[in-house]
């Protein structure tokens, strides 16, 4: 059993990490402020610190700088959002042991924690043995019933235990990272680290440091030893780093077959690209030698618009996922709404569909998602034009109730009558032949009951 301090100002994330660590029989202190966290570190002398990059009263960088000086043997794991990867890499320069990018898989946290505890044990900080890791089952895979997805899943299963580099290509949001994760989860490396480096998220200097190290720091390849390294959007890798990466991979390959005592890091390389790299090679945008080195096993993920048979399955999957998260009672998607979903072209692929269903779960007032719960870009809108100006005054999705159209027309007519009567609601009600209470109701206004009755 080890002492662990976790500092994160998001209660849900803090609770999740605390439960996982306690489930591994560790003594955990979870805190939501940096000041309290530093006091706990001083008092408890933990074996591992897990800290979020952004905390309300101070930054995670400040905590890392302070702890690295006062407790140099204590491994520090940084937790950060995707948009802050650059700062997280800087945190490692300041002394952090490793970092996790939100949202992270719980098994990734477990692996990183176990590795940190191993380092802590070796430094003599604790005497307890590394907690035994339970076999981790695959967590995510590409969802779909289309022939295209079935073929991808067949290939993933076939190549999972082949250590040759794989190149996964496809548009943004098509599911490249999920395919990479599936390859890892179905391989013999599934209980080892799964590390992702977003090539498009870092400036060249920090990207070089993550890939090749320097100043005695570990690289992403050494931190993922035994597991899988995913280089996301490798197409944006600068030409200079393409050359270095090709030489590095060549050196690693040679070490494995040499008699030298230098131990080469053991990892499965998966690269992803939103562009067709072979075309880039022909255009001189990407090194030919590196392309053939990383694309031994090529996989192409088709965009969602080319596999419409998967849309309904995906939509219902996201419905169940986000209705649970939001605590709503949503149970189904209306057949008209589903028709809009399946007919839409989804230019931003599965990510856009997920966002659409998440939005609908948040906005829907019923147990069923209706066309009116979907964003305008997804639904075909009926335009209601003003007879005088011929300008669009309102839009209604096909499939809306007739009463919705009538309400809009009523409100427009009431507004014009109010203008004619210079804002007098009493005269307007009389002219329209309705009570003042009915007028207020149709206008969507709330007034005191006594005021209406006495008017």
H or E segment to which residue 21 belongs? helix 11-23
Q: What is the pLDDT of residues 156-198, one digit of tens each?
A: 999 999 889 999 999 998 999 999 999 999 999 988 889 999 8
Q: pLDDT value at position 130?
A: 39
Q: At what angle do helices 106-122 and 11-23 cross, to 10 degrees?
A: 60
61 vs 389, higher pLDDT = 61
> 124-134: per-residue pLDDT in tens?
443 333 334 44
**pLDDT band, residue 209 (cuts 50/70/90):** confident
The encoded tokens of residue 255 equal: 């070490």
CA torsion sign, 87 to 88 to 93 to 96? positive
Which domains does the chain carry? 1-128 (3.40.50.2300), 136-302 (3.40.50.300), 305-373 (1.10.8.60), 401-453 (1.10.10)
Q: Where are the alpha helices (DSSP H) in 81-238?
A: 85-93, 106-122, 147-159, 176-185, 204-212, 220-223
Share of the chain above pLDDT 70, in %: 82
For residue 115, is pLDDT > 50? yes
What is the predicted pLDDT for the residue at 392? Answer: 47
Q: Give the integer Cα–Cα distance in Å for 274 and 233.
A: 6
User: Could you read off the pLDDT of 397-432 as tens digits, one per residue?
Assistant: 555 566 766 777 788 788 888 888 888 888 888 888
At residue 265, the pLDDT reads: 85
DSSP-assigned states of every residue in 411-426? HHHHHHHHHHTTT-HH
Question: Greatest CA separation found in the chain?
Answer: 100
Model confidence, pTM:
0.63
Q: What is the pLDDT of residue 276?
A: 95
Tell whether the model's pLDDT for residue 452 goes beyond 80: no
**pLDDT recorded at residue 450:** 42
125: Cβ contacts below 8 Å, ≥ 6 apart: 47, 73, 74
Q: Is the pLDDT of residue 86 over 90?
A: no
Residue 126: the pLDDT is 36
Q: Which of the four pLDDT bands, split at 50, 70 and 90, describes residue 299?
A: very high
Average pLDDT for the chain: 82
Which pLDDT band, with edges at 50, 70 and 90, does 448 fall under?
A: very low
Q: Facing residues of 332 across strands?
A: 368
- Which of 19 and 102 is assigned the larger pLDDT? 19
Token pair for residue 363?
A: 């906005």
Q: Does the pLDDT of residue 271 top 90, yes or no?
A: yes
């Amino acid at each position: 059993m080890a002492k662990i301090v976790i500092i994160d100002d998001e209660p849900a994330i803090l609770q999740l990490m605390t439960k996982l660590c306690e489930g591994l029989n560790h003594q955990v202190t979870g805190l939501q402020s940096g000041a309290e966290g530093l006091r706990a570190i001083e008092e408890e002398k933990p074996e591992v610190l897990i800290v979020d990059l952004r905390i309300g009263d101070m930054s995670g960088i400040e905590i890392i700088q302070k702890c690295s000086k006062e407790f140099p043997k204590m491994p520090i794991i940084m937790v950060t959002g995707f948009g802050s990867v650059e700062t997280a890499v800087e945190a490692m320069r300041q002394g952090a042991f490793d970092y996790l990018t939100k949202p992270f898989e719980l098994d990734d946290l477990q692996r990183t924690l176990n590795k940190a505890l191993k380092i802590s044990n070796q430094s003599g900080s604790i005497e307890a043995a590394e907690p035994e890791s339970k076999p981790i089952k695959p967590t995510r895979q590409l969802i779909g019933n289309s022939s295209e997805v079935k073929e991808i899943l067949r290939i993933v299963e076939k190549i999972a235990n082949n250590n040759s580099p794989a190149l996964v290509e496809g548009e943004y949001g098509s599911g490249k990272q999920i395919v990479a994760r599936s390859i890892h989860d179905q391989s013999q490396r599934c209980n080892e680290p799964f590390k992702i480096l977003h090539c498009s998220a870092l400036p060249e200097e920090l990207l070089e440091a993550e890939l090749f190290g320097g100043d005695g720091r570990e690289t992403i390849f050494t931190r993922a030893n035994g597991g899988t390294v995913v280089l996301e959007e490798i197409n944006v890798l600068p030409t200079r780093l393409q050359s270095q990466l090709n030489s590095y991979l060549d050196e690693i390959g040679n070490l494995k077959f040499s008699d030298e005592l230098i131990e080469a890091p053991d990892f499965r390389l998966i690269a992803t690209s939103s562009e067709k790299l072979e075309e880039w090679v022909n255009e001189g945008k990407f090194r030919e030698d590196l392309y053939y080195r990383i694309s031994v096993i090529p996989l192409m993920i088709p965009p969602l618009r080319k596999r419409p048979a998967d849309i309904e399955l995906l939509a219902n999957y996201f419905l169940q996922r986000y209705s649970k998260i939001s605590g709503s009672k949503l149970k189904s998607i209306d057949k008209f709404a589903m028709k809009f979903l399946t007919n839409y072209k989804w230019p931003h692929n599965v990510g856009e569909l997920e966002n659409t269903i998440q939005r609908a779960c948040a906005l829907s007032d019923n147990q069923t998602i209706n066309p009116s719960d979907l964003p305008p870009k997804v639904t075909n809108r009926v335009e209601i034009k003003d007879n005088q100006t011929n300008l669009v005054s309102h839009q209604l999705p096909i499939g809306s109730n007739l009463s919705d159209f009538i309400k809009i027309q009523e409100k427009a007519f009431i507004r014009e009558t109010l203008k004619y009567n210079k804002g007098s609601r009493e005269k307007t009600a009389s002219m329209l032949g309705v009570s003042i209470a009915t007028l207020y109701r149709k206008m969507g206004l709330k007034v005191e009951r006594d005021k209406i009755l006495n008017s």
